[in-house]
A and B are shown apart, each in its own frame.
Chain A
Amino acid sequence: MLTKKQLFTRGMLDISPHMLSVIPFGIICGAIGVELGFDPYLVYAMSFIIFGGASQIVFLQLLSGGASSLVAVASVGIINSRHLLYGAVLSEYLEKLSFIKKLLISYVVVDQGFAESNKFFKKNRNEEFLHYHLIGTGCTMWVCWQISTLSGIVLGSFVPEELGLKFAIPLTFIAIVVQDLKKLDHVIVMITCGLSSLLFFDAPFKSYIIISPIIALFVAAMLLRLKK
C-alpha cells in the first residue's frame, strides 16, 4: 500500500514529461492574450479562473474578433465539455471521497492529468488513497500553467514563433494514446474521432471537440456489440 505522499509524488512524476509541451504552450497563450490587446491582469485571471489551455486562447480570439461575450462563454463551455467524459471515467475511482473533496479535486482535472492518472488507476485499483495521484498530476499542471502563462504575459512571446512549438501539443497527446495502437478496436475509434474532428472542424462554437468523441464512442459501442 502506497502512502499519500508516494502517490502524490508518483502523479507529479507521471505528468511531468508533458510539461515539455505544456510550458511553451502556456507562454504562447499568455503572450497571445497581451498581443490581442487585453489587460494583462484579465489574461492572467483566465489561467486561474478557467484553467483550460486552448479554450483560453479561443475565448480571447473570439472577443477580439468582435464576437459577443455570450458566444465566447458558450465556446469555452463546449470546448471544455470533454471533461464530462473524463469525470465519468474517474468517478469510479473517486466514489469513496466526501462530497467536499470531490468538489475540490474537480478543479484540477485536466487532459494530461486525466490520461496519466487513469492509466495508473487501472493498474492500481486497490490503493486506498488513489486520488492523491490525481491531485499530484493536477497540481503539477496547475503550477506549471500559472507560471508559464504568467511568464508569457510579462515577458511576451520570447519563444521564437519560427519553432512552431504549438506542434508539441498534438505530439504530447500522441504520446498518450500511442500504445493503444496495438489494439485494433482502439485504432478504429481513434481514426473515427480524428476524421470526424476534421470533418466537423468548422462546426459552430468549436463543437467538433465534443461531436467527434461522441461519434467515436458510438462506434466503440457498436464494436463492443460485435465482439460478443
Chain B
Amino acid sequence: MTITAIIFAGILTYFTRMTMIALISRDMLGDKIKAVLEYVPSAVFPAIIFPGIFINDFGTFIEMNDPKIFGALVAIIVGYFSKNIIATISAGLVSYWFLIFVVFS
C-alpha cells in the first residue's frame, strides 16, 4: 500500500524535474520570462532558509534570542567575505554550538 504511494510520489517528483527540461523548448519562453528566471535562485532558496531558521520542529516561531539567528548571521558574514561554502556552513554551526553548549548551558 505504502509502496504504491511512494511510486506515485516518485513519478510526480520525476515529472517536476523532467517537464521543463524535456517538454518545453527554450523558444517557447519569451525574453521577459528569461529575464525573470534569472532570479530563480534568489526567489526559491529563501523559502528553505527562512523556515529553517525561524520555525522550530513543532511548527511555531522561535524566540528572537534563538541561537539559530546568531548562527545564520555569522554564516552570512563569513560566507559573504570568504566565498567559501565549507567556511560558511562551519561558521554557522560552530557559532550556534558555542551559544547552545557554552553560553546558554
Contacts and interface: CB of A to CB of B under 8 A. Distances in A.
Contacts, number: 268
Identify whether the interface residues of A are mostly helix, strand, loop, or mixed: helix
A194 B42 CA distance: 10
A84 interface: yes
B13 A92 contact: no
A193 interface: yes
Contacts of A216: 39, 42-44, 46
Contacts of B64: none
A79 B54 CA distance: 19
Interface in A57-113: 59, 63, 69, 72-73, 76-77, 80-92, 94-95, 99, 102-103, 105-107, 109, 111
Interface of B: 1-10, 12-14, 16-22, 24-26, 29, 32-55, 59, 61, 68, 71-72, 75-76, 79-80, 83-86, 88-90, 92-93, 96-97, 100
25 contacts: A18-B85, A42-B6, A46-B10, A77-B13, A81-B16, A82-B47, A83-B16, A84-B19, A85-B40, A85-B43, A106-B14, A167-B52, A168-B92, A170-B72, A171-B93, A172-B85, A176-B41, A177-B42, A177-B46, A178-B88, A189-B42, A195-B50, A209-B47, A220-B43, A221-B36
